[in-house]
Amino acid sequence: MSAPALRIANVGAEESPELLEPPKLAAAERVAALWQRLLAGSGAWDWLPDPSVSAAWLNTRAVERAAEQDGRPLFGAPARVVEQVHDKAFAHDTASREGLIPAVLSDCITVLDPHTLRDAATGGDALTAALSGWPDWALARFTLKPRYGSSGRGRVAGADGAIDRPQREGALPRLAARGGAIAEPWLERSEDLSVQLLVEPGGGIRLLGSLALRVDGSGLYRGHAGQIDARGRVGSGSRYDEPVREAAASIARAAAEAGYVGPCGVDAFVFRDPDGVETLRPVVELNARFTLGTLVLAEIRRALPDVRETVGLAPGELRGFRFQLEDAPPRPDDPLRIALAPPEVRRPPLLHFSRDPEPPPADA
């Protein structure tokens, strides 16, 4: 009997491309366990990698070398393509071409190349030059985020058009090592949204679902929420759901044209502009890999029979749900709670389903 194919749960490989195992962080380990559960369990979708092929959370060059040594094909896109489309600059440039950047942000999102940031002094000069054309409101508070990163890690905060020198000397070279940075204003967000898709061989785009993201004030992930119907279709419950889905499909098509194939996620958010007007930014970044949203949608599909039986879900009805990577106290209107880990795991990831069709508020 042949050995099982490689399953490389390299969650967090954006921070360290040579990583072949998840870092020893509780959140990364939980995500890795859910990913392994997705591939090992009964298939939520027909496109999931066959047991005879290698698969990874994120296809990197280190993963490719491991798959070659194992002698089995690797599921998904080549690492060189993933590097291209997973870069936050790819999503920004594509959104610019497609007219998907709100007018109020058109002059104040700047891509910084790694070679300009390797030296703190020249990097500081490059940043000053980049910010010189921004409006005053955008300079008041802004952020640099790594072009290769996840979960809000690695960001550098700036204020009044500058980053203080001690912080700059350490931060800019670190950002250079992460492929450069995107400079953008820090915005007052009212909704965070995510669309999960599959880019099929041949370039077809399949919508897997859309979700509300729950993040804290610094942008760190806290959970997902949304609505499910009797056919198992999942939406965010936001009035912006449809335009966000359309924008995500545009970005996924561009990734397909670049040679990408496999699951991916496109993030978006709603913010208040300087005049207090609610505005949609339909494309923030493309995650060219499995995502936590992929895992949540799979668990929801598996839970659908229990939802129908326990919560009640007839054609034409909607039910709300929320997912938390680490268990939190139940709410009184949660008739169904599904633990996504063995009983011995303390504070396991949980799916909560309610009879209320509306997704729970962000602080639930």
Architecture per CATH, domain 107-185, reads as 2-Layer Sandwich (3.30)
Tens of pLDDT along 75-130?
999 999 999 999 999 999 999 999 999 999 999 999 999 998 988 788 888 888 88
| Separation between Cα atoms, residue 363 and residue 215, nearest integer Å | 10
| Separation between Cα atoms, residue 136 and residue 170, nearest integer Å | 26
Enter the tokens of residue 202.
């041949």
- Please compute the mean of the pLDDT values over residues 259-266 and round it to a whole number: 98
Phi, psi of 59 (to 5 degrees): -80, 110
Q: Residue 221: which of 351, 363, 329, 325 has the closest Cα? A: 325
Tens of pLDDT along 300-339?
999 999 899 888 899 999 999 999 887 655 555 567 888 7
3.30.420, 3.30.470, 1.20.5, 3.40.50: which CATH number matches 188-354? 3.30.470
- What amino acid is encoded at 306 in this protein? D
| Separation between Cα atoms, residue 162 and residue 25, nearest integer Å | 32
Judge whether 224 and 296 are in contact, CB under 8 Å. yes
User: 């919560």: which residue's tokens?
Assistant: 311
Could you give the 3-state DSSP secondary structure of residue 162? strand
More confident residue, 2 or 163: 163
Residue 326: predicted pLDDT: 76
DSSP 78-111: -HHHHHHHHSHHHHHHHHHHTT-S-GGGTTS-EE
- Please compute the mean of the pLDDT values over residues 247-263 and round it to a whole number: 98
Q: Residue 284: which of 172, 136, 143, 114 has the closest Cα? A: 143
Tens of pLDDT along 146-171?
999 876 677 888 899 888 777 777 88
73: Cβ–Cβ under 8 A, 6 or more apart, which residues?
53, 54, 67
33: Cβ–Cβ under 8 A, 6 or more apart, which residues?
9, 341
- Please compute the mean of the pLDDT values over residues 16-45 and round it to a whole number: 85
pLDDT bucket at 363, cuts 50 / 70 / 90: very low
Give the predicted TM-score (pTM) of the model. Answer: 0.92
Judge whether 157 and 218 are in contact, CB under 8 Å. no
Least confident of 15-19, 194-198, 217-221, 300-304: 217-221
Is residue 345 scored above 70 in pLDDT? Answer: no
Is residue 277 scored above 80 in pLDDT? Answer: yes
Enter the tokens of residue 107.
């002059």
- What amino acid is encoded at 205 in this protein? I
Is residue 18 scored above 70 in pLDDT? Answer: yes
- What amino acid is encoded at 219 in this protein? G
| Separation between Cα atoms, residue 245 and residue 233, nearest integer Å | 13
Domain boundaries, the chain: 7-75, 107-185, 188-354
Give CA angle at 251 (320, 27), nearest 5°.
50
Residue 108: predicted pLDDT: 93
Tens of pLDDT along 218-251?
667 788 999 999 999 999 999 999 999 999 999 9
More confident residue, 328 or 176: 176
Residue 328: predicted pLDDT: 59
Enter the tokens of residue 131.
């910010």
Judge whether 341 and 41 are in contact, CB under 8 Å. no
169: burial class by Cβ within 10 Å (0-12, 13-18, 19+)?
Answer: middle
Q: Residue 193: which of 174, 170, 210 has the closest Cα? A: 210
Other Cβ atoms less than 10 A from the Cβ of 282: the count is 25
Residue 343: predicted pLDDT: 63
Other Cβ atoms less than 10 A from the Cβ of 74: the count is 22
Residue 2: predicted pLDDT: 64
Residue 221: predicted pLDDT: 79
pLDDT bucket at 364, cuts 50 / 70 / 90: very low
Residue 205: predicted pLDDT: 98
| Separation between Cα atoms, residue 180 and residue 193, nearest integer Å | 25
203: burial class by Cβ within 10 Å (0-12, 13-18, 19+)?
Answer: middle
Is residue 271 scored above 70 in pLDDT? Answer: yes
138: Cβ–Cβ under 8 A, 6 or more apart, which residues?
108, 185
| Separation between Cα atoms, residue 146 and residue 165, nearest integer Å | 19
Is residue 362 scored above 80 in pLDDT? Answer: no
